[in-house]
Chains A and B, each alone.
Chain A
Amino acid sequence: MILGWLPGLKWTLLGAVVAACVAYLVYSASSGSSEYYLTVSELRSHTTSGDVRVAGVVQNDVQRSEGGLQVVFTEKDGTASIPVEYHGTLPDIFQPGITVVAEGRLGTDGVFHASAVLAKCPSRFSTTPYTQ
């Protein structure tokens, strides 16, 4: 009864070839570019080098220079905090109290050098989560 559903041998082979290609592409791309997603305290105990993403809450010590293009702030979760340095334009909703995800690496100076800072986008209309 299942036989009627099976495609011909030719297409099964074609499907297998495409599936193998996709599997190879996924494997090579994800082993090359996946990053750890950590909280600040996990970053403290994390050892691997390479880029990571760190989620935490922006503290009330944001310093901007170069017209706002150079930013230094502290990112904190429940127990640990870390200074973050970033060059570039920040998302509009960036301000103390919101959760951001910084992408970059921890330098030997103990400062997290971010290449990108993502803020939680307000996909809903309410302002409540952003003004607390």
Chain B
Amino acid sequence: MIGYLGAGALLAGLVMAGFSAVLSFWSGWREDAVFVEVGRRAFYASAAMIVAASVLLEIGLLSHDFSLAYVTEHTDLSTPIPLVAAAFYGGQEGSLLYWALVLALFGSASLVASSALGVRLAAYAAGILAAIETFLLVVLVIVASPFDLLAVTPPDGLGLNPVLRDMGMLIHPPVVLAGFASFAIPFSFAAAALLAGRSDAAWIAHTRRFALMAWALQGTGLVLGMWWAYHVLGWGGYWGWDPVENVALMPWLATTAYLHSSQVQERRGRLKAWNFSLVILAFLLVVFGTFIVRSGVVPSVHTFAVSAIGPWFFGFLFVCLVFSIGLLAFRAGSLGSSTRAAPTVSRESAFVLQNLLLIGVIAVVFWGTVLPLVSGMLGQARVVGAPYYERAAGPLFVVLLALMAAGPLLPWRHAGSSLLQSLRWPLAAAGAVAIVLFAAGVRSVPSLLAIPLAAAAGTTCLVEYSRMGMKLRRSAKGWAHAAAVVARKRRRYGAYLAHLGMVVLVVGIAGSHFWQQEKDVSLMPGGQVSVAGYTLTYTGAEQTQLADHSELVGAMRLGDQTLEPARATYPSLGGQALTHVAISSTPIADVYIVLAGVNADGSASFQIFVNPLVSWIWAGGAIIILGVVLGNVGERRTVFELQVARAANPQPA
């Protein structure tokens, strides 16, 4: 029953989305406001059908309806209920439906607020969103339906791999998938603005909000993924430069570039074509990434079920690529700048250089990701590992950090003789930190560059905050006034908070990357081991038998706390093991213990890592998101103010 209803809802959604796409383009061309509204409502109707299909799939999962192939393949009766619910986005078909759902909901939200942008632009944006949604629904209906029925209903499902029986699965995949899906919204508005021949700042203001949302979701998803890998997988690290991680990182980097360069257009009316290109690039990287990950064309430790959707996404990538390049070439002439270029040393140049470096990082990651594919076509396949990414992207990241320190202190137009003076605090901080590190015996060049530059970038943000504080104290109009000023400029101060968070995150990555220590030991009960100054005492192991698995727990004493790394074994799953890492986390370092097993002589083997500053990564991620949220909550006025400005001072299209 649910199968038929769900398939029907998807089909109805497909018809509605296709109708919306055709009608929106046609009525937008004719600037027929009534039919534009009809097209928009058809998109909402399609969204409603997708919501209905999602609810039906969730009902099927929670009611253990094993007549559905998807439910049987991804859950069983013993799977905990929250994880049964999470199976919605855990499999190939369900994750595509989840993607369509996110696009439907965020797309609808972006269209509701879009009518102020003008009939034609809003109509084209609806048309492009509807076209993307139509593609996803075609794939969902034809090749990857989550509502396929089994000929015989089995009594129980196949269940869930124990590695994935972790509550981290409840937040990391939906956040990162939602981020991935929402890059389509800025793309739609950028392409619509190009189609409609509108390159003024109104689309930037509208697009920026959704680009920022996609960026924040994707950034959160990336940090959560690192957190999950670190706490669950038990290899002592958090980032492996696997293709799946790379394709999630690249659109985020492109959007990072856009969020900075769009300010040049807002403030100075320059870089229009470049901004369009960045938004389009982010979306193309999403489609490319989906193709790479889901088609299995490159070797990855993650393998989604390889299925027939690969060629569909390849075709879609091709269409998007041709459409985007054609559009940019077609509109190139009308995207000239309205003002002259800024001097060489200015905020604008800093943004341009930052953008070029970020594109450089994307190129490095892209090449590393496709190398197996390219080299495989030319001969024997080759792969690159972490050392390649560190050596190729590391220097670029170092220059980016230096720009983060200098950029915010550079003026928009003229950099006068005060340049050195305005940079004195970050320079002093970098020098002091470098001297302290050198005195402490640090000799590796990368760490002597990265950490002092991070300190300089952090100092720059603090200098900006103290400037604000001094200005407010001088004005002496009371706290209410001060709060109002800060609130009005919250975008700026939120951005500095995000910069500070990035600095904290970079220090965490640098610390754990440069100074990680590892030791493999076998200890008898009572035995001691010392790693990086931390003394651990093994006190004994205990074996317990639980319903569907047995668990071996080893106890280690560290100071006055007891750490209990464990190893579970699932006989029903062919004896598969599940490691439970024990972590003692402080702001200085994490002591990270993996129990490898016990030996016949009563000793136990451990792999022990000391990871300095890892908790700074999670703290930095949280600060970034806090900065983005505080800086942008209630930023609605921008569009309307720009509307008023444009109405008063009309620009030719």
Contact = CB atoms under 8 A, between A and B. Distances in A.
Interface of A: 1-5, 7-8, 10-11, 14-15, 18-19, 21-22, 25-26, 28-30, 32-38, 42, 53, 55, 64-69, 87-89, 91-97, 101, 103, 118-131
A35 B389 CA distance: 14
Given A21-B360, A126-B305, A69 B382 contact: no
A89 to B, nearest CB: 5
Contact of A67 (B360, B375, B603): B603
Interface in B44-80: 73-75
B267 to A, nearest CB: 17
Contacts of A11: 341, 352
A126 B380 contact: no
B334 interface: yes
A68 to B, nearest CB: 3
Contact of A4 (B335, B371, B574, B576): B335
Interface stretch (B183-191, B421-429, B590-598, B616-624): B590-598
Contacts of A14: 352-353, 356
Looking at chain A's contact residues, the main secondary structure is: mixed
A4 B380 contact: no
B335 A5 contact: yes
A121 B604 CA distance: 27
A31 B92 CA distance: 36
Interface stretch (B119-127, B160-168, B488-496): B160-168
A110 B303 CA distance: 30
Contact of B164 (A1, A42, A125): A125
Interface in B174-205: none
A46 B90 CA distance: 39
A83 B564 CA distance: 34
- Counting contact residues on chain B (CB < 8 A from A), the size range is 35 or more
A35 B305 contact: no
Interface string B79-111: 000010001001110000000000000000000
A51 B371 CA distance: 17
A125 B164 CA distance: 7
Nearest to A128: B158
A32 B386 CA distance: 12
Contacts of B381: 36-38
A92 B385 contact: no
Given A92-B163, A131-B574, A35 B383 contact: yes
A26 B360 CA distance: 10
Contacts of A33: 384-385, 387-388, 391
Contact of A130 (B161, B332, B606): B161
B596 A26 contact: no
A130 B439 CA distance: 52
B385 A67 contact: no
B578 interface: yes
B382 A35 contact: yes
A118 B520 CA distance: 19
Interface string B596-621: 11110001111100000000000000
Contacts of B578: 92
B367 A30 contact: yes
A86 to B, nearest CB: 12
B364 A125 contact: no
Contact of B605 (A19, A66, A126, A129): A66
A120 B161 CA distance: 13
Contacts, number: 211
B356 A2 contact: no
Given A5-B273, A22-B396, A130-B161, A42 B73 contact: no
Contact of B391 (A29, A66, A95, A131): A29
A99 to B, nearest CB: 9
Given A25-B395, A126-B74, 8 more contacts: A4-B335, A92-B234, A96-B574, A101-B299, A119-B301, A127-B161, A127-B573, A130-B573
B26 interface: no
5 contacts: A22-B396, A69-B605, A92-B234, A93-B161, A125-B161
A89 B234 contact: yes
Interface string B361-372: 001100110011
The 5 A-B residue pairs whose C-beta atoms are closest, nearest first, are: A67-B605, A4-B336, A68-B597, A1-B333, A125-B90
Contacts of B333: 1-5
B596 A68 contact: yes
A55 B305 contact: no
Given A25-B391, A55-B299, A67-B603, A125 B576 contact: no
B575 interface: yes
Contact of B388 (A30, A65, A95): A30
B577 A92 contact: yes
B163 A93 contact: yes
A36 B376 CA distance: 10
B579 A89 contact: yes
Nearest to B575: A95
Contacts of B90: 124-125
Given A11-B352, A69-B605, A28 B391 contact: yes
Nearest to A70: B605
B341 A8 contact: yes
A125 B94 CA distance: 11
B159 interface: yes
Contacts of A96: 574
Contacts of B274: 7
